[in-house]
Structure 1
Amino acid sequence: MVAKVHISLFGNGRACGKRYRIRCTGGTNKAIRNACTGKTIDVMVVDRCDTCWGYELVISQEAFAMIARPTLDRVNINYQEI
């Protein structure tokens, strides 16, 4: 379970190896119901994301499928460093 983080979190590589606990809080499109699985996962930062906005994370497909419907592109999440 891995993630890429925005450059503001990446800190010139200091974030590599940090772990975050992630929970899906809902779909980005309010018309889609049941976007989240209700599970919480832990991911480890392995790279930076040059195309992310603000404090976005890009997580592996395996990790995404555990917290949200795999057919969705994006979901809203809460995350915290652990």
Structure 2
Amino acid sequence: MALEMKSALAMVLALLSFVSMTSAIPGTATFYTQYVPSACYGNEDEGTRIAAASDTLWDNGGACGRMYRVMCTRGTGDYGAAQPCKGGSVTVKIVDRCPSTSCHATLDLSQEAFSDIADPVQGKINIDYTQ
């Protein structure tokens, strides 16, 4: 009986992860190192697992405080590391805006958040993200 329950639980978990992955949105991520001041919180320290939202996500400031789960899917081919992704994901809080005039990604992650999921040598990665 215990073996059957473990098998059923494993199947449910596999299905849940599939549903989670199918609702993920593809995009790109870069990173930055100056965290304050931010467009959302001024000079308040919001930690190191933070991000700036591109104009696509900014929502006239409505993005402030939103949390996104970000996963590296592959490199962009623009920079160094052949296999930049480390696996896993990182959850970041939107604290800033990355305007289209200077933003070259969907999310501009803090260096620490970027390093959690990819080799920083890469500079820019393809991602999947969910709110």
1:52 aligns with 2:103: yes
Report the structure, 1 or 2, having the larger helix content: 2
- Structural mapping, 1:8-47, within 5 Å: 8-29=56-77, 32-47=81-96
Q: State TM-score, norm by structure 1.
A: 0.87
Q: Which runs of 5+ in 2 are unaligned?
A: 1-48
Report the structure, 1 or 2, having the larger strand content: 1
**SS of the residue aligned with 1:71?**
helix
Q: Which runs of 5+ in 1 are unaligned?
A: none
Measured on the aligned residues, the alpha-carbon RMSD in Å equals 1.8
> Does structure 1 retain, via aligned residues, the 8 Å contact 2:81–2:122?
no
Larger Rg: 2
CA distance in 1 between partners of 2:90 and 2:126 (Å): 14
Greater RCO between the two (CA within 8 Å, min separation 6)? Answer: 1
